[in-house]
Structure 1
């Protein structure tokens, strides 16, 4: 993240700006944060993980979505763009409970899996504050953090309200995503990525 505009914006003002902006920007409880561009490694890893998830989840109730869809975190009034998300069944949209007039088809509420490809400028945020905010989402139960500068993937998984951690650093390893009962090969996550 490069620039934060200094004045505070209402959510409606942010949505108007986000709908017409050529740059992707997040909403952080009154602040608009412009997102930076990614690297080739980041783009390849993001593409690979989305393709893997999409292929593995065919003919299931799960759906993988890319980073064009905003995740709304109500408890923190944040609208963010994870690199990938997976949903179990129907997507829940922000505003559905208030009726169709306020329903936002660009803001989802209920991922089970969130994936972040780590960048030097966002790694600490993704690991700490962002992860804390994600944990306020009732459906959220698995988190993947993928480094782009070396083979290293971290998986956080929630069972019975307890989060567990495991990391993977071997190209011959696979990650079991328990919420979907699928395995992702580390070699496929990093396919085409040179170090």
Structure 2
């Protein structure tokens, strides 16, 4: 099934030529790639090599590695005073609106300026039917029913988990990011690719890694 997903090239032994199909980080269980439709710079995806519909269905090893990857991404930009926001649309069945047309698990990792992170988080808190709960990153998927759809958001040790979902909305988080960015009508990654942000993010990441080498 993985061969039919948006991530097929990124997860193959020979990644495609498009920037979004070239992993920035390769792990045993996951890869990190830039997202298509990067409304704001520094928007990355952690994608598991093994197919499941959501990250709660992944093995503990894959989840632990994904958490380490997120920490490393955050540390990589520590000097830029960016905050980390983690988002997930967690579908439980194929071709649902929750899955946004991508029936393969992935985590959205946004490295954001504090002011923008505040504005986005306020919108997420208003939109999700969920109470904030103190949750460290390594417990991100604890207590989630892997066989029931969910929306998940995490920032600074606080998790919002909507499960069961109040409404299945395609690209729900993208719509909120677009609103916070002042481009409310440009949320659809299929139409608005924001290739300049992808290029900027990949170039900056490669530069930081070259300096650290």
Query: TM-score, with normalisation over the residues of structure 1?
Result: 0.32
Q: Which has the higher helix share?
A: 2
Query: TM-score, with normalisation over the residues of structure 2?
Result: 0.30
Q: Which has the higher strand share?
A: 1
Largest Rg, 1 or 2: 1
